[in-house]
Amino acid sequence: MPLAKSISCADISIVLWYITESEEELVRITAYSNQLPKNPVRRKERLAVIAILKALGLPTNYSYDQWGRPHVAGNEVFISITHTDGLAAIAHSKNQPVGIDVELLGRDFQKVSAKYLTEREAFQAKSYSDEHFALTWCAKEAIYKLPWPKSLVFNADIEVIIEGDTLSRGWLLAKVHSAGEWATLKVFFTFINQYCLTWVGMNTFLNGHMLQ
């Protein structure tokens, strides 16, 4: 069973799965017989997610709501799902909504930076490394997956704070504008091989309140 890594952070747990099996092997591992996506890559990613849920002892029947957030049938656990080339991951918590994202570091995040950097971030990004760009994107993706009152705009509503020692400490702060006010969240991250992984919980506000 290719569970790549398990991470525990307060009441949030993350499980990663390297997708090295064939589709047939994943079907055998999961015993999954329901309909799968038409795209072969998406089929394997879906099966890897099901394999993680099965390994966690959670129901493998999950669906997405109108905002694109996943829910496990008949279970009150909060989950968030992410996958990219060769890797799938799930964050889960019994106590709070969670968001997770994983991306390959080889992706050119700088090329599309105008779509996700605020004006302040764009100015600071003149000194960014590839890891800084990837981390900023991943952090915003994870934050976006939390249950906000309305969808967030990456280059206006989320501002990631990059400091000199950010890459070495495993967490960063981000400001989020929602419901007419700004709040500060603590986002956690790690670099695993060629991947950047970020996760965040709805209870990690640092300014004394949560947005409902």
What residues does each domain of the chain span?
3-95, 102-201
Beta bridge partners of 13: 8, 92
Neighbours of 174 (CB within 10 A): 22
Beta bridge partners of 161: 173
Q: Which of 200, 203, 209, 204 is nearest to 179 (CA)?
A: 209
Are 3-95 and 102-201 in the same CATH fold? yes
- Hey, what are 142's tokens? 């994870």
CA 120 to each of CA 54, 114, 123, 138, 158: distance values in angstroms, whole numbers, following the listed order: 43, 12, 5, 18, 11
What gap in Å lies between CA 45 and CA 51, rounded to an integer? 10
Q: Collapsing DSSP states into helix, strand and coil, what is residue 26?
A: helix
Q: What is the per-residue pLDDT for 75?
A: 80
CATH number for the region 3-95 comes to: 3.90.470
The CATH superfamily holding the domain 102-201 is 4'-phosphopantetheinyl transferase domain (3.90.470.20)
The amino acid that residue 133 corresponds to is F
CA dihedral 80, 190, 185, 175 (to 10 degrees): -110
Q: Which of 46, 48, 75 is nearest to 59 (CA)?
A: 75
Answer yes or no: are the C-beta atoms of 131 and 196 closer than 8 Å: yes
Q: What is the pTM of this model?
A: 0.92
Q: What is the pLDDT along the chain (212 residues), one digit of tens a residue?
A: 566 678 988 899 999 999 999 999 999 999 998 899 999 999 999 999 999 999 999 999 888 988 889 999 888 899 999 999 999 999 999 999 999 999 999 899 999 999 999 999 999 999 999 999 999 999 999 999 999 998 999 999 999 999 999 999 999 999 999 989 999 999 999 999 899 999 999 987 765 444 43
